């Protein structure tokens, strides 16, 4: 059992016409009253274009055959990482710097501990 879509006569008439690309895209139009060019919205809105596309598919008509532009692919959403705290953003650099200097730090620490032990050691054997 297939469901059929109910369409108005206006929708059927709109699907049976042939259109040019000017009907579906915004254009620059010169307005003498303003003395300059302005952007004019498309003659057929995006909502009506979507309805026409759905009606064409329901009737088995190729949407590009009546002049509808190809459907644009949706771009994936941009993923912007959260800003975070400054210490979180710089943690990797600080860790890398600490690891790089770690040999010197350990050597200095051992040297200081040896010297501290020697200073604390009593001079007399008892």
How distant, in Å, are the alpha carbons of 22, 48, 80, 91, 92 from that of 83? 44, 41, 9, 14, 15
pTM score, whole prediction: 0.55
> Bridge partners of 29?
38
Q: Based on the fold, state whether residues 18 and 58 are members of the same structural domain.
A: yes
Rounded-to-integer distance, Cα 63 and Cα 7, Å: 16
Rounded-to-integer distance, Cα 126 and Cα 124, Å: 6
Tokens of 68: 């509808």
Q: Based on the fold, state whether residues 90 and 62 are members of the same structural domain.
A: no
Give the chain's domain count: 2
Other beta carbons within 10 angstroms of residue 15's beta carbon come to 20
* Continuous segment of H or E residues that includes residue 59: helix 46-59
User: Tens of pLDDT along the chain (126 residues)?
Assistant: 456 778 889 988 888 889 988 899 999 999 999 899 999 999 999 999 999 999 999 999 999 999 999 988 999 999 998 999 999 999 999 999 999 999 999 999 999 999 999 988 888 877
Does 75 reside within a domain?
A: no
Q: Based on the fold, state whether residues 52 and 15 are members of the same structural domain.
A: yes
Residue showing tokens 């088995």: 60
DSSP-derived secondary structure letter, 122: -
Does 111 reside within a domain?
A: yes
Does 31 reside within a domain?
A: yes
Q: Which residues of 52-68 are buried (b: 16+ CB within 10 A; e: fewer)?
A: bbebbeeeebebeebbb
Tokens of 89: 């953003």
pLDDT for res 56: 92
Of 58, 72, 60, which Cα lies nearest the Cα of 25? 72
pLDDT for res 123: 80
Domain that residue 34 falls in: 9-66
Rg over CA atoms, the chain: 37
């Amino acid at each position: 059992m297939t469901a059929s879509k109910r369409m108005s006569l206006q929708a059927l008439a709109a699907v049976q016409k042939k259109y040019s690309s000017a009907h579906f895209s915004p254009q620059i139009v010169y307005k003498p009253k303003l003395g300059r060019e302005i952007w004019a919205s498309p003659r057929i809105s995006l909502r009506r274009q979507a309805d026409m596309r759905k009606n064409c598919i329901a009737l088995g008509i190729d949407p590009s055959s009546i002049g509808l532009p190809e459907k644009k692919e949706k771009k994936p959403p941009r993923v912007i990482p959260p800003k975070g705290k400054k210490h979180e953003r710089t943690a990797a650099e600080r860790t890398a710097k600490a690891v790089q200097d770690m040999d010197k730090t350990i050597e200095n620490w051992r040297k200081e501990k040896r010297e501290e032990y020697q200073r604390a050691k009593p001079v007399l054997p008892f």
